[in-house]
Chains A and B, each alone.
Chain A
Amino acid sequence: MWDYTPIVKDHFLNPRNVGDIPDADAVGEVGSLACGDALKLYLKLDDNKEKIVDAKFQTFGCASAIASSSALTEMVKGKTLDEALAVSNQDIAEFLGGLPEEKMHCSVMGQEALEVAIFKYRGLEVPDHDAEHDHGHAYPDYEGTLVCKCFGITDTFLKKVIADNGLTTSEQVTNFTKAGGACGSCIPKIKELIAEVLGQAKEAAAKPKLSNLKKMQLVQEVLERDIRPMLRADGGDLELIDIDGDHVLIAFRKACAGCASSGNTAKFVEMKLRELVYEGLHVQEVSA
């Protein structure tokens, strides 16, 4: 028996937002009967056509496919289209408290349907290049060369999933996309794609572009290592309250709190962070 989390079970047994929206603004459909799972997602936008005000789904598939669809509709409601596009398959899996790795393709299917719906709404429809193939069409919107003939999956889509999820083995790729899971003849090609994506990842690492997480880590490190010891030497201290984008919110403590020159101290902290972390940072003192 699969080890499903209580959240997966809840969304399977009591799925939210099942059904259709007759006057939907955007509809995304992925999967097929042959594949064993399929999802049709309906989105309704507000009058300004900015925010998603309602989302409904129909799913043919196993418990985790139904739960992933239910989770997806809950997650995108209230989001703008751009915010919704930022929802990744990991976000869906995380919302559900995790999915067994063999079932990660269900979360990918959810993210896919969302993309298809929004792309189509924006007129960015990509042609279904493998229409002649009668089995697959799992992810019809991804152009590229067909890699997995059994499930109709292209190299473009595989590279995206490999990169997004940091996959390193062909078994993982099968768990996430199904590719290679039937006849297995494309597994060597999948291994090549992994090598290609890993190669690109190494290049990217050489010229770092800070992710939010990395930025937060570096800010904390610099505060602990370079700044707080100096303040403490003068009987003062500071506390990191929050990091909001490029805004670092700090509160002064001990001797620094209420000190007439704390404004200068804040400037000093900002200078240090810009020097050691990233130029675009702003430091703001808050009274928390």
Chain B
Amino acid sequence: MKEIYLDNNATTKVDEAVFEEMKPYFCELYGNPSSMHYFGGQVQSKTTEARKRVADLLGTSPDEIIFTACGTESDNTAIRSALEVLPDRKHIITSRVEHPAVLTQCRNLTSKGYRVTEIGVDGAGRLDMEEYKKAIDDDTAIVSFMWANNETGVIFPVEEAAAIAKKNGALFHTDAVQAVGKIPINMAASKIDMLSLSGHKLHAPKGIGALYVRKGTPFRPLMVGGHQEKSRRAGTENAAAIIALGKACQLAGEFMEAENTTVKAKCNYLEKELLAAIPHARINGGGADRLPNTTSIAFEFVEGEAILLLLSELGICASSGSACTSGSLEPSHVLRAMGVPFTCAHGSIRFSLSRYTTNAEIDAVIKELPPIIARLRQMSPFGREFLK
């Protein structure tokens, strides 16, 4: 059974060209980029090139890029750093729909004397900017809003939010893990101070991330020890993965137009056809500006895990905001923050496409999903009541 992989917001396939690029740096060119000799030097020249490629995708300069182990590390570093460099400010602003990499850390900080405000979203998942403007004050050290939501793909107005933070003397960080490589980003014309990205969301391997820190932004490292990354992130560089991330960013730049035309068209087509074929379904975040590759669809009266496992039997890989999938007992915090009714939240399925997604794969989902939903509704006491 060949997989139909529509879970690219969870992780992506490593691009063959990316894999080729990193391959020599394991068994042949295994030198330490920090070494003085030629053997380390040739690795260093490749990691330098990689840094340039990442910077190019973000429209920034290479010395503003710090390589980390993952998006979560980048998020943790940014928030911790801001609190250290602004020790007199004890207020953190974030949103209710952040990834746990941000949200958990912020909530943990409440026990360390910090005040945390979580800004809400409307029914379409859009950030409540009025609430944000009211919440920010001269005690706010850091504002951290995601660029795009991993579950719904809803895009936040981070530039506008960053400008407001700046006016109040607060630092602004964005978790752009889902946005980088999918929508154009230009940090040159931005007020954002720090930005997190993750390699495995854009066809690089797992275990590599980066943190953009704008020149002139005060910074304190999370990892201390060696002088790597100009002492901003100690630890021997994961050279092969850094080189891979560089290549992946270069390719993402090349595919940016396709992402926003052909991938977007496939995603829209999938959405339209499923809504037409399945009654009582709705798009989570339907009214908002969204990523080109993501659709989260709520099917009433059925439960997400059951849908996913029946799809999985057919080789179709998606994900769900349902409670039962995650092992927690309530549906996703994102859908709850949006006020998605319980009748829909438990039956929400996310499809996230990539540039590898084919029309045939989309057609397979359009063919296979409606009978699965019908079958589960037939089995559900609520579905049966409704079908009468």
Which of B305, B310, B343, B379 contacts A18 (CB under 8 A)?
B379
Interchain CB contact under 8 A, A33 and B329 = no
**Contacts A33-B342, A66-B306, A178-B329; A40 near B322 (Cβ below 8 A):** no
Does chain A have a CB within 8 A of B331? yes
Does chain A have a CB within 8 A of B218? no
**Contacts A61-B306, A62-B303, A66-B379; A33 near B324 (Cβ below 8 A):** no
Which of B310, B327, B381 contacts A60 (CB under 8 A)?
B381
List, in ascending order, chain B residues with CB within 8 A of A150's CB: 330
Interchain CB contact under 8 A, B327 and A102 = yes
A285 to B303, CA, bound (A): 57
Does chain B have a CB within 8 A of A255? no
Binding site of B, secondary structure by majority: helix, strand, loop or mixed?
Answer: helix
Closest to B384 in A: A58
Does chain A have a CB within 8 A of B346? yes
Interchain CB contact under 8 A, B323 and A60 = no
A29 to B325, CA, bound (A): 24
State the total of A-B contacts with C-beta under 8 angstroms: 75
> Which of B369-383 touch A at CB < 8 Å?
378-383
Interchain CB contact under 8 A, A36 and B380 = no
Interchain CB contact under 8 A, B328 and A181 = yes
Binding site of A, secondary structure by majority: helix, strand, loop or mixed?
Answer: mixed
Which of B305, B329, B343, B382 contacts A181 (CB under 8 A)?
B329
List, in ascending order, chain A residues with CB within 8 A of B346's CB: 33, 36
Does chain B have a CB within 8 A of A38? yes
Q: What is the interface size of chain A, counting residues whose CB is below 8 A from a CB of the partner?
A: 30
List, in ascending order, chain B residues with CB within 8 A of A62's CB: 303-306, 322, 324-325
Interchain CB contact under 8 A, B379 and A12 = no
1/0 contact string of B325-347 vs chain A (CB within 8 Å)? 10111110000000000110010
What distance in Å separates the Cβ of B385 from its nearest Cβ neighbour in chain A? 9
A181 to B342, CA, bound (A): 16
Interface size of B as a range = 20 to 34
Interchain CB contact under 8 A, B330 and A182 = yes
Interchain CB contact under 8 A, A33 and B306 = no
1/0 contact string of B184-195 vs chain A (CB within 8 Å)? 000000000000
Interchain CB contact under 8 A, A60 and B309 = no
Closest to B304 in A: A62
List, in ascending order, chain B residues with CB within 8 A of A58's CB: 379-381, 384
Interchain CB contact under 8 A, B342 and A60 = no
Which of A13, A18, A103, A181 contacts B313 (CB under 8 A)?
A13
A29 to B330, CA, bound (A): 21
Q: Which residues does B use to contact A, with CB under 8 Å?
A: 301-306, 309-310, 313, 322-325, 327-331, 342-343, 346, 378-384
Q: List 17 interface pairs A-B (beta carbons < 8 Å), by A numbering.
A: A33-B343, A36-B324, A36-B329, A36-B346, A38-B380, A38-B381, A58-B381, A60-B303, A60-B379, A61-B303, A62-B304, A62-B324, A64-B324, A103-B324, A181-B328, A181-B330, A182-B330
Q: Contacts A33-B342, A59-B380, A63-B309 given; 13 further ones with Cβ under 8 A?
A: A15-B379, A20-B384, A29-B381, A33-B346, A36-B329, A37-B303, A60-B301, A60-B382, A60-B383, A62-B304, A62-B324, A63-B305, A65-B303
